[in-house]
Amino acid sequence: MENRERILNVENLTTRFYTEEGVVHAVEEMSYQMDKGDTLGVVGESGCGKSVHALSIMGLIPSPPGKIEAGKVVFFGQDLLSLNENEMRKIRGNEIAMIFQDPMTSLNPVLTVGFQIMEAIKLHQNMGNKQARDRAAELLSLVGIPEAKQRLDDYPHHFSGGMRQRAMIAMALSCNPTILIADEPTTSLDVTIQAQIIDLVNNLKEKLGMSVIWITHDLGVIARMVNRVNVMYAGRIIEKGSVNEVFDTPKNPYTVGLLGSLPNPEATSKRRLYSIAGEPPDLIGKIQGCPFANRCTFVIDRCLQEMPPLEKLNENHEVACWESEKVEKF
């Protein structure tokens, strides 16, 4: 595409948590770029650092125990990590907004939905009560809630799960954010509702010219939603690139295994699924070498000593693996 405008540049982001059991290396040396109009998928299993990375960008890491050890998050030329709380507050919810996984718990049950949407509008856009109310009603109908004006006075428990997630999206959109970070927004919803939410976000993205970071563990959602993808394992990006490249020619054994462990929708005969042996490592303490080495079938001595850096295979594909030439999709 032409006229790509770089809006986000994450460089070497490292976030750790200092707990009683030890130091949790949640995100390690994470680097990626995002252009305007991108939908970037971040995929990985639970505990791989995908949510912590999003919270780090938003400046929402609780400290202590959390600490961003190193790195930069450059948003339109400005390093977000160097901002103080007041400056960050102008960006958070305004320029970069986030929707969370669980729509049941991320709304306040004792405040009306309308009040919660208006809160952000009044704070960031200097609107009066009446104006903000009109805007909130407009947003609710934008996300497909019928009779929006009346529903503003409802409490979250009057809404179903899908409607709550729609209300959360309305709240996130209230200030026309440049980037919308969606942290597993459909995980707790049923598939038919998930399809509705995915369509909604796709339409809104076109309409409002947003860029989206979509965090999920569901490779199907990634295939449907995004154009670029970061595959994470144990706090690191182990493969990234355009979604077609990564799904067609995965070059990291973990990505290959993950894709292979899904049932093939075309298969008519019964074959066993590929399964990656073992379990993801504990992130307490430093991992020597590649974190996937103990589950990997391609492992060589070097993997146990050194973490492979992300290497560029072509314009649209980077992978971190010493043996990537040998790795093939089955």
Partner 1 sequence: MRIEDEILRIEGLRKYFPIRRGVFQRHVGDVKAVDGVNFNVYRGETLGLVGESGCGKTTIGRTIVRLYRPTDGHVFFDGEDLALLSKKELQTLRRKIQMIFQNPYASLSPRMNIKNIVGEPLEIHDAMRGKDLDDRIAELLDYVGISPSCMNRYPHEFSGGQRQRIGIARSLALNPELIICDEPISSLDVSIQAQVVNLLEELQDELGLTYIFIAHDLSMVRHISNRVAVMYLGKIVEIADKIVLYDNALHPYTQALLSAVPIPDPKIEKERSRVLIEGDLPNPANPPQGCNFNTRCPLAEDICFKKEPDFIEIETDHFSACHLVERDGEAIIL
How many Å apart are CA 222 and CA 217, to the nearest integer? Answer: 9
The one among 3, 191, 286, 315 contacting partner 1 by CB under 8 A: 191
Is residue 46 near partner 1 by the rule CB under 8 A?
yes
Nearer to partner 1, 10 or 107 (CB): 107
Nearer to partner 1, 46 or 129 (CB): 46
Token code pair at residue 15: 């976030």
Strands (DSSP E) along the chain, which ranges? 6-19, 22-35, 39-43, 66-75, 78-79, 96-99, 179-183, 211-216, 228-233, 236-242, 311-314, 317-319
> What does the radius of gyration of the chain's CA atoms come to, in whole angstroms?
21
Residues 110-149: x where in contact with partner 1 by CB under 8 A, - otherwise, as a string: ----------------------------------------
Q: Is 235 left (phi over 0), alpha (psi -120 to 50) or beta?
A: left
Nearer to partner 1, 12 or 160 (CB): 160
Residue 50 C-beta: closest distance to partner 1, Å? 12
How many Å apart are CA 323 and CA 174, to the nearest integer? Answer: 47
Nearer to partner 1, 75 or 233 (CB): 233
Part in contact with partner 1 (CB under 8 A); list of ranges 90-98, 102-110, 259-267, 321-329: 259-267
Nearer to partner 1, 128 or 265 (CB): 265
The one among 192, 286, 325, 330 contacting partner 1 by CB under 8 A: 192
The one among 74, 127, 223, 299 contacting partner 1 by CB under 8 A: 223
Assess contact for 86 and 173: CB atoms under 8 A: no
How many Å apart are CA 211 and CA 49, to the nearest integer? Answer: 21
Token code pair at residue 262: 């899904």
Window 266-295: residues binding partner 1 (CB under 8 A): 267-268, 270, 272-277, 279-280
Is residue 194 near partner 1 by the rule CB under 8 A?
yes
How many Å apart are CA 73 and CA 274, to the nearest integer? Answer: 37
Is residue 102 near partner 1 by the rule CB under 8 A?
no
Residue 247 C-beta: closest distance to partner 1, Å? 5
Beta-strand relationship, 228-233 and 39-43: parallel
How many Å apart are CA 58 and CA 8, to the nearest integer? Answer: 12
Q: Is 26 helix (H, G, I), strand (E, B) or coil?
A: strand
Residue 68 C-beta: closest distance to partner 1, Å? 26
Chain positions contacting partner 1, by CB under 8 A: 45-46, 160-163, 190-196, 198-199, 217-224, 243-244, 247-248, 257-259, 261-265, 267-268, 270, 272-277, 279-280
